[in-house]
A and B are shown apart, each in its own frame.
Chain A
Amino acid sequence: MRFWISAALALALAVAAAFTVKNAYFFFAGYVVLQFVVLATAWNILGGYAGYVNFGTGAFFGIGAYTAVLLVKSLGLPLGVQIAAAALVGAALGFGVGLLTLRLRGIFFSIATVAVAIILQTVIFNWRYLGGATGVQLLRPEVTPPFDNYIKMLFVVGTLLAIVAVAVARYVETSWVGRGLRAIRDSEEAAECTGVPTLRLKLLACVVSGALMSAAGAPLPMYQSFVEPDSAFSLNYSVSALAMPIIGGTAHWFGPVIGAVLLGTVQQLVTVTISSELNVLVVGVLLVLFVVAAPEGIVGLTRRLWARFFK
């Protein structure tokens, strides 16, 4: 109940901001942070709970973006349909990739997911209708009532997507599915021998995670009013989606949210004040720091400190 009240409050705040805050950059940057909340949360379902490190976030994100482009160019469908369709495509991709790769473990699985991103990017590179390597320009509607600006509308949609993603992750975490995934992470063989259908659960996690990642990619073309394969399938998405949960803490659904808000905001600040090259370095340095000093992330660190000083 408390979760849903907080979620409703977050959405109300986002809507209120859209009608009161004048600074357009706030929404531009805020949307990116929200997008990372979705990506990090989605990544954590497979990577955090089940321990399968997916390096292919960019593949899912990019395919979501291009699904949207295809629907806009061919049928002129609205954003809601684009997002839903992207989620379906992401789920299907998750299922396919999962079937092919989830029998691999550890680093081999991770390498296979990188390959998926490269394959899909190559396909888009050679797909003329979707702009090929040079990308495709899209016209963004200036105004979308009741919002006086398209980006403000995207900001609210982003908030909604983030809430959906977090709610799904939270459900997975607290249900029997989450316990099964944790069992898989701790010992896959023991999990299987205690009745956990490991392959099925991993596939389920991959499908859900993929659907959310692709849904997060769907608004990208309109957000940028331009999209090209190199940036849509960028490895940066994969790295960030992995770094954020690790920094926030992978054991709890709140970890990826904190990680994404924190790292996403820092990245935006660094991009604006110093350089966009440096923000990648920030991710790297923070990731190394946390892996070494606080492997359980901010959530784990806070819990430990709390237990030490207040109990």
Chain B
Amino acid sequence: MGALLQVSGLSKHFGGFTALDGVSLEIAEGERFGLIGPNGSGKTTLINCIAGSLYNEQGSIAFRGEEVSRLPAYQRVRRGIARSFQLPRPFKSMSVLENLIVPLEYVVHLNDADSRQEALRLLRAIGLADKAEAPSSRLSQVELRKLELARAMAARPRLLISDEAMAGLSGSEVDEVLKILFDLNAQGITIIMIEHIMQAVMRFSQRVVCLDAGKIIAEGTPQTIVQNGDVQRAYLGA
């Protein structure tokens, strides 16, 4: 398996605060990758830099061998990097279906009729088909998370970054979202999962990286990460 995403020496500062400090990682095609770390450790900053919502100051980001770190976010999603947002950001003036039509029109370049069909297909797959015509402002939390994932999927990504898609969901809802992510991965989509719900990350990921204060402090299989002393200290502050 070749590297789909190669991040090297990534740094990002906000004023005097160092959010990312020389982060390097490689993600293989088809991998299920978990990103963990305590609050404020730089997880979201890292994926903002990868997806293009923020520009890194030092380092490089190569996606399928191409340097993308200077590209705006809309160019990166066209190359295959899609993301969901930690706090769902639906296009609330639009119906659920229309939310998906945006990426289908702008990234996949489908015409109106085709994009409607494709949006419906995606909604069926994720279990939101009955809400297709509902205004997205009227969805429940779990439905909003699903919409976030469906909208990211509509861009037909090779890499899907799921930013805390399960935060605040109940146990059965977590299972539901996990199943969706497993299914997507089975279709060949590489997934980066950022999650606070340890059980979910551990069950899902093949490999986990732990960030603390903008640096990678541990990397390995879920089992080795849980037993890692640095990780335990980072989380428990011991």
Contacts and interface: CB of A to CB of B under 8 A. Distances in A.
A179 B74 CA distance: 15
A232 to B, nearest CB: 35
Interface string B51-62: 111000000000
A284 interface: no
A186 B72 contact: no
A196 B102 contact: yes
B107 A189 contact: no
Nearest to A179: B102
A194 B90 CA distance: 11
Q: How many of chain B's residues touch chain A, expressed as a range?
A: 20 to 34
A190 interface: yes
Interface of A: 176, 179-180, 182-183, 185-187, 189-199, 251
12 contacts: A176-B105, A183-B102, A185-B93, A186-B91, A187-B89, A191-B91, A192-B73, A193-B52, A193-B53, A194-B151, A194-B154, A198-B74
A179 B98 contact: yes
Nearest to A194: B103
B106 A180 contact: yes
A285 B155 CA distance: 45
Query: Ordered nearest first, which 4 A-B pairs have the shortest CB separation?
Result: A195-B106, A195-B107, A190-B89, A186-B91
A199 B85 CA distance: 21
Contacts of B73: 189, 192-193
B154 to A, nearest CB: 8
Given A182-B93, A196-B106, A197-B72, 7 more contacts: A180-B106, A187-B90, A192-B73, A193-B53, A193-B77, A194-B152, A195-B78
Interface string B136-164: 00000000000000011011000000000
